Each structure stands twice: as C-alpha cells, then as structure tokens.
Structure 1
Amino acid sequence: MSRKTAISLFSGAGGLDVGFEKAGFQILFANEFDHDAACTWRQNRPLNSAAMSEGDIAEKLPELSQFHGKVDVLFGGPPCQGFSVAGKMDPNDARSELIFTFLQAVQIVEPQIFVMENVKALGTLERWADIRGRFLSRASELGYNVEYSVFHTADFGVPQKRDRVIFVGVKKGSPKDFFTSMKKQTCAAPKTRDVLLSVGTFGSQQNPDTCSANITLAKSPIMRKSPYAGMLVNGAGRPVDLDGLPPTLPATMGGNKTPIVDQRALEDEAIVNWFEDYHKKIVAGDCVPATMEIPDYIRRLTLREAAAIQTFPPDYTFCGARNKQYRQIGNAVPSLFAYKIAMALCAAYPNALSLA
C-alpha cells in the first residue's frame, strides 16, 4: 500500500511538515529560502534531508515538474509579513506576491489537494479583499474548488492565542468537507504553566536560559484591564499568563520582544504573578510606574519553552544563532495544528489520497 505524499513549500523550520509526517505523509520535496531554517529542516530529518531544496522558490519551480500528477497534497505558509497587522501592511510588499508563486507551484505539480496557511488578516480584512479574490479566482482557473476559514489554534490543543487562515483547494469534491472535518479535530489546550513545567527546570541543561535581554518597566505604560495585555515593560515582550494562554509568539523574539515569565509563580501556583500585583498598584494609584524594582525571578521565555508552546517535538533541534532560532520558532505553524489539518484532510478525502 502506497504512502500519502506531499510537497512542502516555504517550509521554515518544518512546523507544518512535522504535523503532516505524523499523519503519515512522506515529504517528497521541500523548499526554504532561509539557510538556518533549511538547516533545521534537514537536521531533524536525517533520512530525508535530500528532499530539502534550499533557495529562492522562483528559481526552484522547474524542479517541481518531476512531481507532476504524483503528489497528494502540496502545502505551505508563504511569508505573511506583508499581510500581518503587526507589520506595515504594504500592498506593494513583494512578499505578498508569494501566495501567487505558491499557485504557480500548484499549477506545475497539480496535486489532488493544496493547503495554504497565512495570517488572519489575509482572510478577514477588507484591505486584502482584492488579493483574496485574485487568489481564489486563479485557483479556480487551475481546476480547484477553494474555500478558506480562520482558525483559533488553541481550539486544536495549541497552548497559544494564535489565529490563522487556511485556504484549501481540492480537485474533486467540496472543500467544505475539510472544514466540517476540522470541527471534529478540536480539543482543549493545556495551560501555559503545564507546558513550561514539562520542558524542564529553567536554567538546566535541558532548558537553558537563552535570552539575556533586560526587563525594565515602562515609564509610561500602556494600560489594559489585564496585566497580560498592554505594555507594562519596555519593548514588546509581555508577561505570560501561567494559568491561561500566551499571545501569538512573534518571529521577533530573542530580545526585548520575548515573552516574560514569573519563575516563582511558575513553580508555586499559589503565588500571584508579580505583574498582577504591579498592575493592581498602578490602577489603585499606590505606585508610580517604573519606580518598583523588578525581582530577579522575572525572566524571559527560553527557546525550549517557545518551541513547546509551538508544539514542536521535545527533541526537535534548531540551527543558527539564538535570535535566528527564536525567529524560526515564531514563524512556524504549530506542529499540533498542522497534524490536525492533515488528519482532517485524511478523513474528508480518503479516496483522493494514496492511503484510503
């Protein structure tokens, strides 16, 4: 019995790939422009490292002709900075055109199904309505029935407040079957506390301290109702709600945008997070912002913790400098979410895949 096959584009560190591999897919070809991310992809797949074709996707498209008509699923997450509300949202950003490069690959390979992941804004904002329309129209011209929907990854067991849009195109059948199948893949996400504790003791060899960026209180904090929102410190790093879920991990982690952990509260859930007390005192007018001294048990999220929040396997390793590793983790599609996508495809289209 043949295996389900897939091609991975804009692979990054391999978050989507991990999920599809776990669901039984064999990656025949992968592509990533960033050297460190491509190295990470290969390093974690020693038996399939040759599948990674590193470099500019525009130059690699001719290589895809060898897979024409031989692939079940083509998936990928083209760079999203051009669409993200966290960026400049520039319609002329060259990276925004890469979703159409993705469709060029679809045209060459003609997979049974394609899956494209991107930021929520691409699927919801009126600003991108024309681009969405162009994408859907072009996919239809290529012979695919296409629909899209925004998903909250925490609904699928990912311990993170991360919203993403998924476009699914199928040659035969209705994409609605996939979205119906996804509803059956939902499950509860663990609390941040449980995820961080599962990684290992902070500062140990298993979970070393990997971010040395100082944490200083903002003189003019941006206040919100929750101490875990707004901006209480300098930089974009926010305190992590240990009994809830952290916000989307950004690709800009590694410095003062890295989320913040109260180590003492992590180890003892009876202890109130330091930032909750600080926030309460500011609201009550009991202290002037930035006059309190941050205790030494307040620290930044480690690489291993960030990877666990993104649901990478515990033994997954990353290449490059620390800031490059943080970026790879932040850019990735959570592996568990990818697995749920792959399993939903298998359930929705058993006759379209090699393994029924």
Structure 2
Amino acid sequence: MNDKFSAISLFSGAGGMDVGFEKSGFDVLFANDIDPVACKTYDLNHKISSCCGDLRDYFDELFRHKGVDLLFGGPPCQGFSVAGKMDPEDERSQLLWTYLDAVKLTKPSAFVCENVKALAVNSRWTGVREEFLRRAESYGYVTAMLVLNASHYGVPQARERMFIVGVKKQLTKLSSEQLEQVLKRELSSRECVPESVGDLIRRLGRAGSEGNSKVCSAIITYAKKPVLRKSAYAGMLFNGAGRPIDSNGLALTLPASMGGNKTPIVDEDEIFNGTASYVGAYHEHLVSGGAVKSGLAPSRLRRITVDEALAIQSFPSNYILTGSQSAMYRQIGNAVPCQLAAVLAEAVKSVLSDVSYLKVA
C-alpha cells in the first residue's frame, strides 16, 4: 500500500481538514481560501502557503496539478445550512459548482467534498444533490454520500457533516453502492469514544491559566422568557444563542458566530470543584414552576475560551491562530474537526491503496 499521496486543498480556511489529511499521509501541494486572516493562520501552521483569493483566479495554477491523487475541501455552507437562509441563489452556494469545476480541471484520482448535513438530507436540496452526483458521474467518478458525526470518531462534539467521496471509474472495481459500503466499513472500524468536554477542559486548565488563556468576555444573563426543553442543555435558559454544554457529555456544533453571546457556556465550578450543575438545578427549578431569574448569571458560568473551542475541534494544542478574537472563533467554527478529517482520509486512502479495490494491481 502507498503511504503518501498528493493532494489539493480547496476552501481550506484555517486548515482543519488539512491537518487531518496530512496526518493520514496526504501531501498537500496547493491550498486556497478567500479569507486573508484564515490564509495567514494556514501559512503559520503548514509547510506551504495558502493562495489567498477567489479560487477561480487560480485555475491556471490548479491545472499544473492535473492528475493529483486527491482533491478535498468544503465549499461555504451558509447557503445550505438550516441555521442560515437556505437560499440556493446565495453566491456562496454557487461555489459548490466551482468545486466541481476544479475536479473537472484537475482530474484527481479521488475527491472529497464536505458540507452541512442539510445538503444530504433536506428535501429542499434534492435537486442540488442529484445535479452534483450527475456531474461527478459525467466527469468519470463513482460516488458515495456519507453523513458522519464527529463524536463517533473521538471528537467531543456532536457535529454532523456531509461528505461526498468520488473515485475515478477507470481506477476502481467498485460501483457507487460498493464504494459507500467499503467506506462505511472502513469508518466503522475506526470509531472510538471521545473524552467529555469537562475532561478536556480540566486537561487545559482553568480559564485564564497559561494553557487556556484566550477567554471570552461576553456576559451571561438570564433569559426573560426561557424556552424549556426536556434537557437542561437544550431550550434557552440564558440570553443569546450560546447554550450551556453538559460537562459530562459532548458539545453541540460549534458555530462560526462564536465570540459574543453565541459562544457556548460551561460551568467552571462543576468542572473543577465537582459541584452540582447550576444549569441542571436552574432548569429543574423552572420546570417545577419556580420564578424566572433576571440579571447576570453567576460567575461560575462562563463562555468557552478560544483554546477550548480549538481543542473541541481536535486541533493540535500548538496550532497558531491569527486575527481578532472573533476571527479566531470564526476560523474554528468554520473548520472540519481535524480528527474526523483524519479518519475519513484513512478510509479514502484504503480505497486508493488496496489492490482488491483497484482495476490495476
């Protein structure tokens, strides 16, 4: 089996997907993103520099890498996300087709396209899915569409994402259905249980300490009209979209909008002193008919730090972020969890390496 494969990274952002694919033996030769801050972060952490700007302006450079082993990347997802406007005419949604243009131009042995779960399962995007797969097939690829939960692969975050994997028909014996089965089998063999968010934070240290210094100052106030759900960690007990995280469990999807009151909340006393959850107690109080509280929440509740968000996304502990604090949170929230990318990369590498899957031994 080959140990090293060449790759192109598109819509690279801060480089989370690249970390995972590089860890699994892919040598990234070209990277691109339009965000100059994310490009600077990428440059500080990878052996090549990200070509910053509109991808379409770099097609001549891309063509020089024709025949690369793998092309991977995640076109902007805001146009498809249930958290956004779900507008198919959103200019960012059109970049999905720019991604396929790059596939057609470079003719990689395989490609991996990442996006939000909604693109794979929402009936609103049926036409988009079918068109993407039709075009990929016309370019000579068998394809498999997967929805993966990062928490199944050691990431302490219940983050679900769609991945479309394509492999050149002329290289593989597999049909699209068989490719999906092989990838699922490879992925299943790599499943593992992640640590809890509380364990992760204890490992980093208290907010403000040397290893966990980039704190978020956004205040936490009680919601005037709480939205109650069965779980204390759903609904809305505090103002803003940043919901509390169960320290004994997993984070929900970290959004790119973190940095203000959309930054998730943790209970410092529960994590470091072993006291009972304040969020759980307040939720029980409300469910039992207790009065709604007002003003500032107790200081034991705080927003997660940049360092914690970075770790929840499974970035290396020495990863360097650039830009303002809000830009750091945005880069983290936009990233594919590194560990999820690494596991998927291993599965794709198996398909490209194992002679039982290939037409030519």
The answer to whether TM tops 0.5 is yes
Residue among 322, 325, 343 paired with 2:325: 322
Regions of 4+ moved over 6 Å: none
Gaps of 5+ in 1: none
Residue among 54, 57, 82 paired with 2:55: 57
Residue among 145, 152, 166 paired with 2:163: 166
Partners of 2:338 and 2:214 lie apart in 1 by 23
The number of residue pairs the alignment matches comes to 348
Q: What are the superposed Cα offsets for residues 98-149 of structure 1, whole Å, 9 maximum, x if unpaired?
A: 1111111111111100001110000001100000011000000100001201
Gaps of 5+ in 2: none
The alpha-carbon deviation at position 293 of structure 1 amounts to 5.3
The alpha-carbon deviation at position 200 of structure 1 amounts to 2.5
Do the aligned partners of 2:12 and 2:31 also contact (CA within 8 Å) in 1?
A: yes
Partners of 1:328 and 1:23 lie apart in 2 by 22
Residue among 113, 119, 137 paired with 1:116: 113
Task: Name the amino acid aligned to 2:48.
Answer: S
SS of structure 2 residue aligned to 1:74: strand
Q: Is residue 260 from structure 1 mapped to residue 259 from structure 2 by the alignment? A: no
SS of structure 2 residue aligned to 1:186: coil
Partners of 1:342 and 1:90 lie apart in 2 by 30
Partners of 1:209 and 1:260 lie apart in 2 by 15
Identity %: 47
Identify which range, 166-175 or 217-226, moves more after superposition: 166-175
Residue among 274, 286, 294 paired with 1:282: 286
Normalising by structure 1, what TM-score? 0.94
Do the aligned partners of 1:238 and 1:258 also contact (CA within 8 Å) in 2?
A: yes
Normalising by structure 2, what TM-score? 0.93
Residue among 296, 299, 304 paired with 2:299: 296
Q: What are the superposed Cα offsets for residues 50-84 of structure 1, whole Å, 9 maximum, x if unpaired?
A: 3x211111111221110111x11100011000000
Residue among 56, 63, 66 paired with 2:64: 66
Q: Is residue 246 from structure 1 mapped to residue 251 from structure 2 by the alignment? A: yes
Do the aligned partners of 2:221 and 2:294 also contact (CA within 8 Å) in 1?
A: no
Residue among 269, 276, 280 paired with 1:272: 276
Residue among 151, 155, 161 paired with 2:152: 155
Identify which range, 53-62 or 308-317, moves more after superposition: 53-62
Partners of 2:146 and 2:3 lie apart in 1 by 31
- Which aligned pairs between 1:1-356 and structure 2 lie closer than 5 A? 3-45=4-46, 48-50=47-49, 52-69=50-67, 71-171=68-168, 172-173=171-172, 174=174, 175-176=179-180, 177-269=182-274, 271-286=275-290, 288-291=291-294, 294-350=297-353
Q: CA RMSD in A?
A: 1.6
Do the aligned partners of 1:181 and 1:348 also contact (CA within 8 Å) in 2?
A: no
